[in-house]
Chain A
């Protein structure tokens, strides 16, 4: 098989999606459901009206920011499973600012953005310190702190930040209008939030392609020992990478509160930190593919609740469609490498 012909490449590119649709269809049929009906509901749930399209657009924002951050840590060879916690930290600091300060939008919104960046960055530094000076693998440090972050959120919502009417799972009191990101017309999408996400992915693209720091991170990612012997302060750059990622993810968490929910809720990240891991893997660690992958993930995310309403299925089918594509992508890639090696 010639792995370099255009047709083969197209087939191998489509294969992960085809395999995903086939396996999920098999599961659905085994459960006695009609897969076509399920897929139609998913797509309809994401795109049937302009309001839905706007929902997809805004739900792309936190995922895009988290993925942009994770591109940086991936370049440095880090498994940054702690992005959830970084998003939480951004959301918490933002909520604190909104509660502590009374100001018009022009002052409030920049402050919430800064709070999001700072909160996430601090959380990232904490993981970086555990990893470099504490010698705790970043997977465990990040994951453990995710749980700590969620417990902290719950504590604040049910404790110091509970609404006057009493604490509930629906979160804190709604933010004042001055802390709402400006919306596009009567939709739920905010142009400023979208702009921030686009700028973030562009910045990361440029950092990784054109800057000395990007090159340094890649050197650490490829061979940390070699980079260290060449005089790179690997510890410092690992902490910086986690800090930069944390800042972007924290902004994502901040926008969850100011652009989407307009309050702090218990599951404020919406799982975007874990999804970002999948996004970056599926994009082949390349920034230019991230927006397209995020579009697929967000469309599935917005479309899947309808499975519960119309077919009494669990909306986690959406998660299955997201995860399976990535798994098959990795396996197909491996298959391609194997065949390619044999050809030579």
Chain B
């Protein structure tokens, strides 16, 4: 394989993983605040449909993305509100919404199936795209990809280098302590769930308006679950979540590259592979980091910790009763 093909492959992996980066980072913000939004699979579907339909009807990509983000935010807020104000189980509401929104997207979206629609244009960044190797792969992309770079970096800075980010981590880890310090825990959870949901909506529209153009029945089915798994795999850390998304994209495109090379392997293996991979990835990160560390040479310890360390927010999924 010559370098041009490799660069082109990396470029397409980065582009096709971008919706997963958006969804993963969105869910990361939500879960860091202590809410689990399990509606991702349905949210992404409905947002993809709504974003495409709006862009198709209005001719404006911006309106399409705006509507998709609104849809994602509203669904997420239903999950948060029904937990915080109505005492309902987050998992139950999330699962019901996943199933319901998938059907709503099929029902409302019937008229928009397989129509040619607008798409996000590509735009090379002058200067950066001329860099050797990474230039073409990373900076000769579309606007969404650049937005995702900024988002990952921005969320990292927000979480680990700012006051409000510290407060966000505190409401997910120790809601009682955070509340005692005067942080309105439940209101913040609503805000971050809404923002996270909007990013999930952005992921949906990124599929229908950029990565997997158009709309069809169950257009993005399964991707929401992959995004949820990537958040766990990434240990709730923005860089590792982004890395997980790219890794997943890379393995998936490796699969489609292998398919013609090994025609004797049934195509179904490649269809199921992403989900089998999801389980294997979760098995890996669920491993007992301390036990693995003990069995390996000491100089590998930092590596083991980097891969297996778990950052589950301690207050995740737990309601917080505010005085």
Interface residue ranges, A against B (CB under 8 Å): 27, 31, 79, 81, 130, 134-137, 139-141, 143-148, 150-152, 154-155, 158-159, 274, 277-278, 281, 313-314, 316-320, 322-324, 326-327, 330-331, 333-335, 337-338
Contact = CB atoms under 8 A, between A and B. Distances in A.
B272 A151 contact: yes
Interface string B93-104: 101110110111
Contacts of A141: 279, 282
Contact of A327 (B85, B100, B283): B100
B268 A277 contact: no
Contact of A135 (B96, B107, B286): B286
A81 to B, nearest CB: 7
The secondary structure that dominates the A interface is: helix
Contact of B268 (A139, A144, A154, A314): A154
Contacts, number: 130
Contacts of B275: 143-148
Contacts of A145: 275, 279
Given A316-B103, A327-B97, A140 B88 contact: no
Nearest to B218: A316
Contacts of A322: 103
Contacts of B232: 137, 140
A335 B91 CA distance: 18
A158 B99 CA distance: 28
B276 interface: yes
Contact of A278 (B96, B266, B274): B96
B306 interface: no
B269 interface: yes
B149 interface: no
Given A327-B100, A334-B87, A317 B107 contact: yes
Given A140-B279, A331-B82, A323 B268 contact: no
A187 to B, nearest CB: 29
Contact of A320 (B95, B107, B266, B269): B107
5 contacts: A139-B91, A151-B268, A152-B272, A313-B107, A334-B82
A337 B87 CA distance: 8
B5 interface: no
Given A79-B95, A140-B279, A281-B92, A330 B82 contact: yes
Interface residues of B, number: 41
Contacts of B95: 79, 81, 277
B279 A136 contact: yes
B278 interface: yes
B110 A314 contact: yes
A147 B275 CA distance: 7
B255 interface: no
B272 A140 contact: no
B225 A140 contact: yes
A316 B276 contact: no
| Pairs of residues from A and B, 7 with the lowest C-beta to C-beta distance, nearest first | A334-B86, A323-B100, A319-B103, A151-B272, A135-B286, A147-B275, A316-B106
Given A281-B96, A316-B107, A338 B85 contact: yes
A204 to B, nearest CB: 20
B93 A327 contact: yes
A316 B278 CA distance: 28
A152 B95 CA distance: 25
Interface in B50-99: 78, 82, 85-88, 91-93, 95-97, 99
A323 B103 contact: yes
Nearest to B104: A320
Given A27-B107, A338-B85, 10 more contacts: A130-B283, A135-B286, A145-B275, A147-B276, A152-B268, A278-B96, A313-B107, A316-B104, A316-B107, A330-B88
Contacts of A320: 100, 103-104, 107
Contacts of B38: 139
B286 A134 contact: yes
Contact of A334 (B88, B91, B97, B228): B88
A134 B86 CA distance: 34
B63 to A, nearest CB: 18
B222 interface: yes
A335 B100 CA distance: 20
B162 interface: no
B108 interface: yes
Contacts of A137: 232, 282
B271 interface: yes
B229 interface: yes
B220 to A, nearest CB: 14
Contacts of A155: 266, 268-269
Given A130-B279, A140-B278, A334-B82, A313 B110 contact: yes
